[in-house]
Structure formats: C-alpha cells, structure tokens
Structure 1
Amino acid sequence: MKGSWHCHALLSEVKPALGRYAIRVGLSEKVRYDNYTLYNVQPATEEQLQYLNNLYKDTDVLDFWSVPSTVENHISVVSPPKSREEFEKALERHGISYDVVLEDIQKAFDDQTRRRRKRDSGMYWTNYQTIDEIYEWLHELARTHSNVVTLIQAGRSFEGRNITGVRISRKSGRKAFFIDGGQVDADWLSPTVVTYLINQLVTGDDPEARTASEDFEWHIFPIVNPDGHQFSQDSVRLWMKNRRPTSGSAIGVDLAKNWNSQWAVSGGSFNPSDSNYVGLGPFSEPETRYVSRYIDTIGTNLAGLLSFRAFGQRLLIPFAHTTDPMYNYRDMLLIPDGSTGTIADWVKHRFNPPVVATYQLRDRSQGYTLPVNQVLPSCEETYDSVMAMLREAKFINVL
C-alpha cells in the first residue's frame, strides 16, 4: 500500500466484509460488521485532503462511504476492529479532525431490520422496505387504482429480476417526470422515499400532490438495481454494485456511474474490485441499458428528472465534469460537486429538460446506518421539497 499508513490485517479477512471490496461473498453467506467503526473525518487543508485521497485510492482495509473531494467536507470512513487504533493514530499524526460516529455498525444494521413490520394497509414508511414488499405494493396499487396507475417494466436485471415501476397519469397529453432510486444497494433509504412520493401522488390528500399528478405524467422506478438490493438484504449489507461478474473473482459495476455522460471522468474507478467501478464503458450493464432505453421512449416529452440516493443532504445539479453553467443553471439555482457518468447528467445532456437534479438524502454522518426513526421524516421532507421545487419552477416559468 502506498502512503504513510499501512494496515497488516489479512486481505482475506477484510475484503469480504467491506462494501468497497466485497468481491468474494457467495449468496448463501451473511456478512457481519461486528465492532466495525464508523468515522466522520474532516480535512482542513489541501495536504490533509491529499493524504485522505491517497488513502482512499490505495487502501485494502478501510471502506470510504464518501470520496474525499474538498477541504472541510465530511468524509464517512469505516474501519475493521483490528485497524482502528492504527487508523486513528495516522489521522492524529496528520492533524486530521475526526469523530467516532458508531463503534459497532452491526448493531445499527440489526436495528434497521429488527423492528420491521408490515401494516394492514400493505405498506409502511416508518422503516426500510424490502424489494418484495415494494414490488407487491406496486402491483396492488396498479390493480386498485387502474385508472391512474399503470405497472411498467424497463427490462430485466443481470439475474433476471424485473426492473419495475409505475406510470401515474390522470390526464392525457402531459409532460413527463422521471424518478428513480435504488441504484446503489447499500442505500435502503431512497427506494422507501420514492415509494412515499408514489403514494402521495396516487392516494395523498395534499392538494399539491393532486395537482402535480394532474399537471404531469410520472414515470417512477424505486429500485433500478434489484439484484444488488436483494444481495444487500441477504448477504452483504454494504454491497454497492450490481451482480454481474466482471473480471476474475470481481463482481459488479457501480450503476450510478455507468451512464453515457462524461463517463469515468471523475469519481469512479477502473478497478473491478472497487465498489465505484465504472464498468468497461457507458451502459455496459443491463440495468442502465434498459432504463436508458425506457427514458428514450419519453425523452422528448420530459419536463424533468429527479434521482434519489443516500446520503449527504445535498441537491446536485448537472454537470459534474465542468464548472461551466448548464443550459438553465440560473433557473435551477432559483429552484433550490459530484461524480460524472450519472443518470442526471446523461438526461440533461441528451434531452435538456428544464428540471434535473439528484437528491442526496439524509444524513451527513450516519450514512447507511441511518436509524429507522429518521425514515419517515426523510420521506416527508423530501416530498415537501419536491412539491416546493415544482411550485417554484412554475412561478419562474421553467415548467
């Protein structure tokens, strides 16, 4: 390993347990993260940022949930128990500020599933939802609200699962909005937030939701990556990619960076073992290919795209590869630094709808360990934000 910090933990012990390097885990195995520590690290100087960047690129031991990008930006890092002391000493030697967020992330993961209960209504937003629950609910919604909701399928994943969503339409001839979640599998929050939006548009009693469902046609896919989402439920909680074998024993591509807009320019890796591996080229994966083809069918009618993911509490607007303003940059700033190769950048470049944004949901420190008591507030605040965005966009005549 390059740099001034080296961990002597056995690679065979570390790789299966960390999201970034989980490449040799079979479907029958259930990986645990007992006594793995979650840190919030904050570089204060360019030198400290460069050190963390080198560590991010070269480590076989630590799991970076966020990429070191700018000074004073919070970075979430996970360390296995054997490496904790050495990692903390390295940070202290470089004068890098850090906080211990959780000393045992497995306990947090256990809490995310322990109290999961299905309500009589068939769906809930007080905890994280499984793919089976989401898909069953979408089918039921299309059956019970057939005049408004149509079940849609973009295609099939590598393992043969349907990429399922719904089209919500109350009036014909309307401009379309596309919404997606669940591209990154450790992110259990965005699919739940997206189903909350669906529920509000279809059955909610808020007049703004009713207006939004009448003014636009909504095409919504809660889980773009069904194979990886299921794998994160069954085997590796911190799995990040899809499940297609790529090179040697490596499995998966980061779908969030596999779209055909400035592909692989920044924020991704060419190492198939890394969780942010960008693939052999844009749309190399069946999931991104099928979803992009679906978007092509509505592209000329697009009013906007909203993509949801955990975490960071930010609203990202295109484009990540340049500091030059996008086509309606000032308008988007009136409405409310990332990786390239994203769905938002691709849609903005290809179709140029007026409203394109990526929501990074709660929060900045707990990341994928976000407690279940924050799920419903996340849903509610995100819904309010989307309604406010539509309201402001109409006010300034963007829509």
Structure 2
Amino acid sequence: MELYSGDARSVKRNDLLNFEISSDEDEKIKAESGTQTKTMAKGKSSPNSSMKATISSGLKQITPSQKPKRRKIKLMNWKRYHKLSVIYSFLDDLERDYPAICTISVIGKSVEGRDIKMLKISNSDASNAAVWLDASIHSREWISTAVVTYVADYIAKNFHKHSKSITNKDWYIVPVLNPDGYEFTHTNDRMWRKNRAHHEGESVGVDLNRNFSYGWGNNGDQGSSGDPSNVFYRGPAPFSEPETAAVRDTILGSASPFKVFLSFHSYFELIIFPWGYKCEPCPDYLHLLEAGTVMARAIYETTGMIYKVGSTKDLTYFACGTSTDWSYAIAKIPYSFMIELRSKKHRFRLPKDQINETCVEIWNAVMGLMDFIDSTKFKFKTKK
C-alpha cells in the first residue's frame, strides 16, 4: 500500500497520512464479536445441549464452527517506536515490493550474532555517487532509527517522483547499526548506549562511536575512555568490534564512490562535522558549514526547529574515534555529518507524537543537502 501520494518534493507537517494498525488495537478482542466461547458453570446446560436434544438420532449433528482468532498484524509506521524484528521485516518488505530498486544485504554480524542489515536503493546507474545513512550506533537513540526508516520508505515509495538529485544517488541505509544494544534497550535497559561486547566475562559493551581508527584514543579520557565500565569505552583497539568493522569494510569495499556520510544520533539538535578529536578546523570547514546550514534552514522552514551547525568539538566536546572523523579523513567522504536529532527537553525519550514531525523535517534537510551538492562545484581538499 502506498503511504504517500502527490509531489515527492518538500514535505510539510500534516502533509502525510500514516497508515497504521496498532498492536494495542490488535490485542483488543471485541466483547460483542460472538466468536469467543466461555466455560459453562457446573450444572448449567450449554446453548448446544438443547440443540442436540431436539436433533433426531438419524440426522447428522451440526455444531457451530468457531472462527479463527484474529491474526496480529504488525505494520511499520511513524507513530511509535518499533523493535528490531519489525524494522527488519519492514526492510524485507521494501525489497519485496520494490525489487527493481531495493536490495537487502547483511553487512556483518553483531557481537551476539545478530544480522546487521543494510538496504540499498538504486536505479543501477553506474555513474551514481553513494550516500551512507546509519542510525542507532548508540542503541538508546530510538528516534534515529525512526528517521532513517522514514527516509528509506519515502525514497523507495516515491522514487520515480523524486528529483534527479535523489535518483542519481545510490542510498546505503543501515537503520540499526547496533542491533544487540537496540534489542537490549527494548527488553532490559532503556538507557543502554554501547554494544554488548564482553570484557573479562561480563557484558560491559564498547561505545561504537569511539571505536573507529581515526583519532582513536587521542586526548586520554577527554574524548573517550579506556575503562570498560565507562559509557565512552573505546574498546581494546580500533575496529575491535564487528559492528564498526562492518561499516569500514562496506564503505571501503564499495565500487561506487561515497559522497555523503550521515550518521544520525540524538538529542542535541545539532548538525556537526569533523573534527571531534582535535580543536583545529578541518580543511573544508567553511564549505561543510555552508552545507550544514542548508540542512538547518530546511528544518527551520519545515517545523520552526532550530538546529545549530558547526564542528563536533566546537558544539559538543572532544570525541575521539568517531565515524564522521573516520569517514572524512580515511574514507575521504567529503560531506560527512553527524545529525543530532531532537530533543534537548526530552533527551532520549522523545515522545511518540513528535516522531513523524521529526522525520519530516529531516527528510527535507536531506533533500536540501542533495540539491546543494548537485548544484555546487566546490573542490574538496580531502579528495582521494
């Protein structure tokens, strides 16, 4: 079923209707349905007993047939947060429904053996540049997965209505980069941040966004931590974790040159770019500032939300071994951004009623960035 219709360009709040059958409604059985049976009290005759008494012994007995139980239907929507199984089923459905442009692959296995699934959306044009989107590298940041799945859904279901700046890209989309941690936040600890790596027999986890090689371990404990119990624990070595290694191997092994790297987080309402591991500006600071401002303006024009733009260190703190520093410096992806989504007010527990609006504003930001990229002839200093 198509969720959207009309022009697939800029989307404003309330422009879209989300189709949903909620699991709450699924689990309610109408009292008046007549399909339920109740155990009769001792000594009372059932409605069928009087029927049987009046049927002659020579006739075949007819009893009412019981209707099957209602099947629970789980559909992807952006009115609530979903568990890993629903996210992965959604990806599989996109591949099934749009096989000409959607392909699912498993780019690696997590520490606990879960698949790390990636959706690729492409028209198979060999001249396309590649765009990377990932979410939930920090497992408690649920809104990031909601946003990335929304973007994937909107691109796939409206592909032939999009402008060339969207269709001339190969989209590599990983909605849950940390599947073990993501599942753990749904079942055990809502605030769990790291993966589920073991240290000395205990599941203490590694902060995957401190486990990339560029700037790994710089600045002592200011930008990451060597203490396994710390939330910023960087791991025993760069790319020690299978989740970060999967990102590295997929990007560096791609035949298509990556032009954009967007990693989605929460909750600072920021658009940030390298460097995180040192104070100096990156070689393309001014151009990345301009590109980030394009996204921030699109967000503001959509919902009125204000996202600040700047380098990681300028707007937050030292962060060493991050994916964006690595993607810019080592993978040579010129437009490398971390987008910190809503909200400073609610922190990691963004209310469900803000999911759809957040998704819409970020879609407009992503689309604005693609238009900007295709219209500029800027030559990056970080070229391969």
Output the TM-score relative to the length of structure 2: 0.70
Which stretches in structure 2 are left out of the alignment for 5+ residues? 1-21, 28-71, 293-312, 380-384
Q: Return the structure number with greater helix share.
A: 1
Residues 332 and 134 (structure 1), Cα distance of their counterparts in 2 relative to 1, 3 Å cut: same
Cα distance 1:368–1:305, how it changes in 2: closer, same or farther (>3 A)? same
Distance 1:121 1:285, change over 3 A: closer
Q: In the alignment, what sits opposite 1:271?
A: 227
Work out which of the two has the higher radius of gyration on C-alpha atoms and give 1 or 2.
Answer: 2
Structure 1 partner of 2:109? 156
Matched residues, number: 286
> Shift of the alpha carbon at 1:396?
2.5
**d(CA) in 2 for partners of 1:116 and 1:317?**
43
Inter-partner Cα distance in structure 1 for 2:113 and 2:153: 27
**Is the CA contact 2:217–2:320 (under 8 Å) kept in the aligned structure 1?**
yes
Matches within 5 A, 1:1-399: 122-173=75-126, 174-204=128-158, 207=161, 209-247=162-200, 249-265=202-218, 266-298=222-254, 301-336=257-292, 337=313, 338=317, 339-398=319-378
* Range that drifts further, 358-367 or 298-307: 298-307
Structure 1 residue 231: Cα displacement: 0.7
C-alpha spacing 1:267/1:114, structure 2 compared with 1 (3 Å): farther
Asked if 2 retains the 8 angstrom alpha-carbon contact of 1:168 and 1:213, the reply is: no
CA contact (8 A) 1:247 1:272 kept: no
Contact map agreement 1:250 1:273 (CA 8 A) in 2: no
3-state secondary structure, aligned to 2:130: strand
Distance apart, 1:291 and its partner CA = 2.0
Q: In the aligned structure 2, how far is the partner of 1:380 from the partner of 1:115?
A: 25
Q: Is the 8 A contact 1:116 1:128 kept in 2?
A: no
Structure 1 residue 267, shift from structure 2 partner:
2.7
Tell me the amino acid that sits aligned with residue 189 of structure 1.
I
Q: SS at 1:298's partner residue?
A: coil
Q: Does the 8 Å contact 1:179/1:305 carry over to 2?
A: yes
Letter in 1 for 2:181: G
Displacement of 1:335 after TM fit?
Answer: 1.0
Could you tell me which runs of 5 or more consecutive residues in structure 1 were left unpaired when the two chains were aligned: 1-112
Please give the secondary structure, in 2, of the residue aligned with 1:304.
strand
- Distance in 2 (CA, whole Å) between partners of 1:116 and 1:363 is 29
Q: Which residue does 1:106 correspond to in 2? A: none
**Superposition RMSD on alpha carbons, in Å?**
2.4
Taking structure 1 as the reference length, what is the TM-score of the superposition? 0.67
Query: 1:177 & 1:249 partners in 2: Cα distance?
Result: 37
Task: Quote the offset at 1:248 in angstroms.
Answer: 5.3
